[in-house]
Amino acid sequence: MSSDDLKRTAAKAALEEVLPKLGRDGIIGIGTGSTANCFIDLLAEHRGVFDAAVASSDASAARLRQHGIAVIDLNAAASIAVYIDGADEVDPQRRLIKGGGGALTREKICAASADEFICIVDHTKVVDVLGTFAVPVEVIPMARGLVGRAIVAAGGTPVLREDFVTDNGNLILDVYGLKLTDPARMETDLNNVVGTVCNGIFAAQAADRVIVAGPEGTRWLT
Ligand code: 5RP
């Protein structure tokens, strides 16, 4: 099975799980990336059974609209039944590194706003300890140097993501080499550096459930 097939398998399992829970006035939260795109494409067939979506990026909002799915602003959503998104790394406690697509801030906001966050990944994303994948940190442009120096002091190596501006108008530092033995602590420490908008460690609020698609089938981390 190709990586794309596995992403579609995880997305299909998520769809089967969430569709029965979405009433006609239900709002679904949608993430960003190739796995989230698989979910969007499958969701299109069912656009009549729920009300609208909230998207974690302009790219996902555009894809949803191309499929005829209404997209609303998060502030207009009374509640979000479930948020579906991929991840770059997942550990056994369902803590994540996200932000490979640069949408980490809106992703964290959507996840925090939803009643449930279901993460969908292929098996290659599952690790024992987070941290091989660089941790993306969204920074206010004028604070790039300040935040970068604080990250070096914390033991990381920040690399500016070239030719990239987030949907919020900010920059991304991809941080290599951080020791993530206590991911929640590192998430807080990075957030406390002035000029940081958000970082891609999802430990304070891990995913509620993770669907992992592999060659032997689909399993859940709960
Ligand atoms: C985007 C993300 C994505 O969920 C993450 O990068 C995984 O992407 P993909 O599904 O393409 O492997 O956090 O900011």
Distance 99 CA to ligand 1 centre (A): 6
| 115 and 24 within one domain | yes
* Sheet of strand 96-97, all strands in order from the earlier edge strand to the far edge: 89-90, 96-97, 201-202
Residue 131 CB less than 6 A away from ligand 1? no
| 99 and 43 within one domain | yes
How many distinct structural domains can be found in the chain?
Answer: 2
* Alpha-carbon torsion (19, 24, 30, 35), positive or negative: positive
| 70 and 172 within one domain | no
| 140 and 101 within one domain | no
| 143 and 112 within one domain | no
| 40 and 66 within one domain | yes
Task: Please give the residue range of the domain that contains residue 186.
Answer: 135-200
| 211 and 112 within one domain | yes
| 84 and 11 within one domain | yes
pLDDT per residue as tens digits for the range 139-158: 999 999 999 999 999 999 99
pLDDT of residue 1: 86
| 98 and 151 within one domain | no
pLDDT per residue as tens digits for the range 38-74: 999 999 999 999 999 999 999 999 999 999 999 999 9
Report the percentage of the chain scoring pLDDT > 90.
99
The CATH number given to whatever domain includes residue 183 is 3.30.70.260
Residue 37 CB less than 6 A away from ligand 1? no
- DSSP bridge partners of 117: 83
Residue 174 CB less than 6 A away from ligand 1? no
What stretches in the chain show pLDDT beneath 50?
none
| 144 and 101 within one domain | no
Task: For residue 138, indicate whether it is catalytic.
Answer: no
∠191-72-90 over CA atoms, to 5°?
A: 40
pLDDT of residue 170: 98
Ligand 1 atom index nearest CA of 125: 12
Cα 70 to Cα 43, 50, 59, 67, 75: the distances in Å are 12, 10, 14, 9, 15
The CATH number given to whatever domain includes residue 105 is 3.40.50.1360
| 176 and 74 within one domain | no
| 105 and 214 within one domain | yes
